[in-house]
Amino acid sequence: MRLSRTTPILRTFDDARAREFYVDFLGFRVDWEHRFEPGLPLYQQVSRDGCVLHLSGHHGDCCPGAALRIECGDIDALHSELQAKAYGYARPSVEGTPWGTREMSVRDPFGNRLTFTTAIST
C-alpha cells in the first residue's frame, strides 16, 4: 500500500475575495468550479505548480482557521512576486527558523494560514 498526494480543503465565505486572494495575489489558477445548483455555495479547485487546494463555501466541509505548510523552491522569488503585487491586505515577510527553514506566512481573508517554506542549504 502506498499513500499519495494530500489535497487540503479550506473554508471560504466570499467567492470574489477568495479569487482575489488565491488567484490574483498568490498566483493560483482555477482548475474547476462546482455548485449543486445556482445560489448554493461554490466548491472549487485551485492550483499552482504542484500545490493543489480545494476551496469550499460549504459549512460542513471544514472549519475556518486551518494552517498549511507548502514547500516552495525559491521563497525569495515568491516573496518578491507577492510584494510587487501590493496586495492591500497582506505584506508577508520571510523569516529564518531554528529548524533550518526560511518561511513566509500569509492569512487568507477567511482566517486560514498558509506558510510557504524552503529548506536552508548547508
Residue 93 lies inside a defined structural domain of this protein: yes
pLDDT category at 107 given cuts 50, 70, 90 is very high
Res 72 pLDDT > 80:
yes
Neighbours of 54 (CB within 10 A): 17
Domain with 13, as residue range(s), is 9-119
Q: One-letter amino acid identity for 52?
A: V
Please answer whether residues 55 and 10 qualify as being in contact, where contact means their C-beta atoms are separated by less than 8 angstroms: yes
Q: One-letter amino acid identity for 27?
A: G
Locate 38 and state its grid cell. 445556482
For the ranges 33-37, 79-83, 117-121, the lowest mean pLDDT is seen at 117-121
Only one residue has cell 486551518, namely 66
Residue 89 lies inside a defined structural domain of this protein: yes
Domain count, the chain: 1
Residue 3 lies inside a defined structural domain of this protein: no
Only one residue has cell 475575495, namely 17
Give the tens place of pLDDT for each residue, 87-105: 999 999 999 999 999 999 9
CB neighbour burial string for 1-29, b if at least 16 within 10 angstroms, e if fewer: eeeeeeebebbbeeeeebbbbbeebbebe
Over residues 4-31, mean pLDDT: 96
For residue 89, what is the domain's CATH number? 3.10.180.10
Residue 2 lies inside a defined structural domain of this protein: no
Question: What average pLDDT does the chain have?
Answer: 95
pLDDT category at 122 given cuts 50, 70, 90 is low
